[in-house]
Each structure stands twice: as C-alpha cells, then as structure tokens.
Structure 1
Amino acid sequence: MAWLDGLLEWSDDHIVCRASNHQDRDHPLRTARGLLGGAAIEYAAQAMALHGALCAQAAGSADSSSPEPGFLASARSVQLGVWRLDDVAGPLRVEARRLAGDDRQLLYQFHVAGASGIVVAEGRATVVLNTPLAMK
C-alpha cells in the first residue's frame, strides 16, 4: 500500500515526496463520501517511513534492505485544510521533518499541500521503532 509516487528531495532530517493517487476512485481509504482529509496523515507517515529507510541506507546499516519496523504512535496538533483529498487538484506535496529522535522513537513535523499550495494537512507525529507488538 505505497501511495507516494516520487521522491523530490531528502536530507538527514527532511524529506519531500509527491503523490498523485488521491483522486483514484479505487483508493483503499476512500469512503462513500470520498477520500477524507485525515488520510493525509497516512501519506505523511509513508514519507516518514521512506525517510527512515533512506537514512538507514545512507548510514550503511547492516541490513538497510529491511529498515527498522515502526508504527505511528500519535498524531498531534493536526490541522486539516480540506474536508476531502480527492477534491484537491494536481499532485500532493508531502513533507516531513525529523525534529528529534533516538533508536526507539522519532518525532516528525509534517506538511501536506496541494499543487496550488493549499495546505491539506499539517501537524506532528511520533513514530515508535523496534517495538514488538503482542500477538494473540
């Protein structure tokens, strides 16, 4: 379920990606009302995951082909600029900036915008790494 279709730039603390499938009628998060604005958080989470993989590869991790597993633990101070993503024309610009982190968790700030510059979503997200989930 990879929704990003382009990497525009990245550094050790920042990534910018492009996504253009938010208007697809068969988008997996689309509801009867359309693709709701909150789905932008998942686009941002995918950019964060890609950023982690690129940083691991650049650092020469022992196994950079299999980056550290993680999950989105929280999204805070989220502001949505649109009700529906599928109403946003053109590709989405998805940015994430790592604000802090260690080998167990990362804090990112994210910003998702439409081609015209309209803010789709922004906020902060905490990613927890290498934490086994209990299997039932």
Structure 2
Amino acid sequence: MTLDANAIRERLPHAGAMSLLDEVVAHDADAIHCRARSHRDPDNPLRGTSGLHALAALEYGAQAMAVHGSLGATDAAAPRAGYLAAVRDLRIHARRLDTIETALDIHAERVMADARSSIYDLAVEAAGEPLLAARATVILEPGETP
C-alpha cells in the first residue's frame, strides 16, 4: 500500500508546509520508504537565509518514522505522539538540500520498539547518493499501548 501527501498529512500532527513528505513508496512491519520534493520549495519552513541545510534531512527522517509508527497502530489504539529524544552516529554527506534537483528518498528501518520508545536507522538520499544517515530514538507520550 502506498500513501499520497494527503494520506500522510492525516497521520501526522504537522500542518501546512511543515508536512514534508509527498508519498510513501513502500512499507512493511519493519521499514518504510518515503519520497519528498519539498526541499526545493523556497517556502520550506526549515529553510534559512542561506538555503536548506542538509541537517534538515533529519526532520524528513523523523516524519518517515512517525508515518511508519502510525501504519502499525490498530484502530482500537490510535498512534501516540512521539518526540525525537536522541540522534547517534549522524553522518551528513551534503551541505544543502535545496540545491538537489531530484526527489529525496527517505528510508527508516525500525531497529527496536517497545511500549515507550522506538529506535530507527535513517538514511536520506537523492538519486542514489547519500545525504544523511543516523540512528534516531523517539520517546512516545504515555498512553494506551497499541
């Protein structure tokens, strides 16, 4: 099952231009592949006066993690909000995103999850070239366990 930008927005708390992902290309129980073109938008809310720094790719990865988490939630237990708590092994392979002509491919693979947190390996690339890689930990708000 793939998702378009509207379906993604329904699953995330991000509104307007802060919803960065355009589509879910593929997903399974352990991983998700998303695509985005919003890095080219001059009105991207993460863009500064000197452009869109490649570190912004971390937010693209975090949104992919959130969509993946929502896809695993059951109807009886809606997905809970999560907060990026830690980033490890961060590797940035580019200076800016706004100069990249092609779409961004965002990959998030769940390494571990329990009732309180999730850990994902993230990789953001464009045309097969790596832009950012990291391991990210999300802490979930207390609530009913999905």
CA deviations 1:61-112 (Å, max 9, x no partner) are: 4143xx1111000111110110101111210000000001101011100000
1:93 aligns with 2:110: no
How many residues were matched structurally?
A: 126
Alignment-mate amino acid for residue 129 of structure 1: L
Structure 1: stretches of 5+ with no match in the other structure = none
Q: Which residue of 2 aligns with 1:127?
A: 138
**Residue identity matched to 2:26:** E
Q: Which residue of 1 aligns with 2:35?
A: 18
CA distance in 1, matches of 2:77, 2:137: 24
Superposition map of 1:75-86 within 5 A: 75-86=87-98
The CA deviation at 1:23 is 1.1
**Root-mean-square deviation over aligned CA pairs:** 1.2
Q: 2:108 & 2:31 partners in 1: Cα distance? A: 6
User: What is the alpha-carbon distance in structure 2 between the residues aligned to residue 61 and residue 93 of structure 1?
Assistant: 28
Distance 2:99 2:67 in 1: 26
Q: Report the residue type matching 2:49 in the other structure.
A: A
Q: 1:113 & 1:96 partners in 2: Cα distance?
A: 12
User: Which portions of structure 1, spanning 4 or more consecutive aligned residues, are displaced by more than 4 angstroms?
Assistant: none
- TM, length-normalised to structure 2: 0.83
Aligned to 1:111: 123
Matched, 1:37 2:66: no
Percent of aligned pairs sharing the same letter? 40
- Counterpart Cα distance in 2 of 1:43 and 1:54: 17
- 2:108 aligned counterpart, secondary structure: strand
CA contact (8 A) 1:19 1:92 kept: yes
- Secondary structure (helix, strand or coil) at the match of 1:87 reads coil
TM-score by length of 1: 0.89
Structure 1 position 131, deviation (Å): 4.3
2:68 is matched with which residue? 51
